[in-house]
């Protein structure tokens, strides 16, 4: 089965239990939206899946194979919240570094075609964020973790990124978190809410009110 599966995730920072027996799956062809208030553990969970944080306990499989640090398998790619690519690296070199199977598609994208010889740090903040997100999306990884990809993006650029997510949806499994919950609801196959260290399936906006994510106006 082509599926990312993580279960029984437990992690704490000092005395604070941030995740308690959290369970999450993501299949190829799915966009799983991950919502939660600040401090709910969204970024922590993505980093645990990626392998950059070692929790107190987790049970993680990719395509039915047990994993410890998924980044070593190159089957999982992770976009962190902040810029992660050194500002001096040129776009054309980044394409060579990150892109293989989708190289022809990426080279035809306007944001790349018009900036091939530019260092990524010369781009505007929104375009830099878009380029980093696209490099992760179009990498060879089967499972993509996007941590607040729409932050710093103007509406037009955010819409462009959503189009790429929809375009690649059939070929990858994606887990996306963002404070702009409507963006997440719009593109997700299903929604998971992290609250009080646990995960809850969300079927509509009323569920977000019930679990305290949205105010009951």
Q: Is pLDDT at 16 greater than 90 in this prediction?
A: no
CATH number 3.40.50.300 given to 3-210? yes
Q: Is pLDDT at 151 greater than 90 in this prediction?
A: no
Q: In the chain, what are the domain boundaries?
A: 3-210
What is the three-class DSSP state of 7?
strand
Residues 40, 194 contacting (CB under 8 angstroms): yes
> Rounded mean pLDDT of 38-56?
92
Instruction: Name the pTM for this structure.
Output: 0.94
What pLDDT score was predicted for residue 217?
A: 60
**pLDDT band per the 50, 70, 90 thresholds, residue 116:** very high
Residues 183, 13 contacting (CB under 8 angstroms): no
Question: What is the distance of C-alpha 29 from the center of its chain?
Answer: 14
What pLDDT score was predicted for residue 1?
A: 75
Name the nearest CA neighbour of 137 among 171, 183, 88, 188. Answer: 171
**pLDDT band per the 50, 70, 90 thresholds, residue 149:** very high
> Rounded mean pLDDT of 138-150?
96
Question: What is the distance of C-alpha 143 from the center of its chain?
Answer: 9
The contacts found for 101-110 with CB under 8 angstroms, 24 or more apart, are 101/140, 102/138, 105/138, 106/134, 106/138, 109/134
Question: What is the distance of C-alpha 44 from the center of its chain?
Answer: 12
Reported as a single tens digit per residue, the pLDDT across 153-188 is 899 999 999 999 999 999 999 999 988 888 899 999
Reported as a single tens digit per residue, the pLDDT across 49-104 is 999 999 999 999 999 998 888 888 889 999 999 899 999 999 999 999 999 999 99
What pLDDT score was predicted for residue 108?
A: 95
- For residue 152, the surrounding DSSP H or E stretch is none
């Amino acid at each position: 089965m082509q599926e990312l599966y993580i279960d029984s995730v437990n992690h704490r920072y000092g005395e604070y239990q941030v995740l308690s027996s959290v369970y999450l799956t993501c299949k190829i062809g799915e966009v799983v939206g991950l919502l939660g208030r600040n401090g709910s553990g969204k970024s922590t969970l993505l980093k645990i899946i990626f392998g950059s944080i070692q929790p107190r306990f987790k049970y993680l499989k990719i395509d039915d194979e047990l994993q410890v640090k998924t980044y070593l398998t190159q089957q999982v790619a992770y976009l962190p919240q902040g810029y992660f690519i050194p500002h001096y690296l040129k776009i054309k070199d980044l394409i060579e570094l990150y892109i293989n199977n989708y190289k022809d598609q990426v080279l035809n994208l306007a944001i790349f075609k018009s900036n091939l010889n530019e260092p990524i740090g010369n781009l505007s903040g929104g375009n830099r964020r878009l380029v980093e997100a696209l490099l992760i999306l179009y990498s060879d990884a089967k499972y993509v973790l996007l941590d607040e990809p729409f932050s710093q993006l103007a509406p037009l650029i955010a819409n462009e990124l959503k189009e790429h997510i929809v375009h690649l949806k059939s070929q990858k499994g994606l887990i996306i978190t963002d404070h702009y919950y409507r963006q997440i609801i719009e593109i997700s196959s299903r929604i998971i809410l992290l609250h009080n260290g646990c995960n809850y399936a969300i079927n509509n906006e009323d569920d977000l009110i019930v679990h305290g994510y949205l105010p009951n106006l």
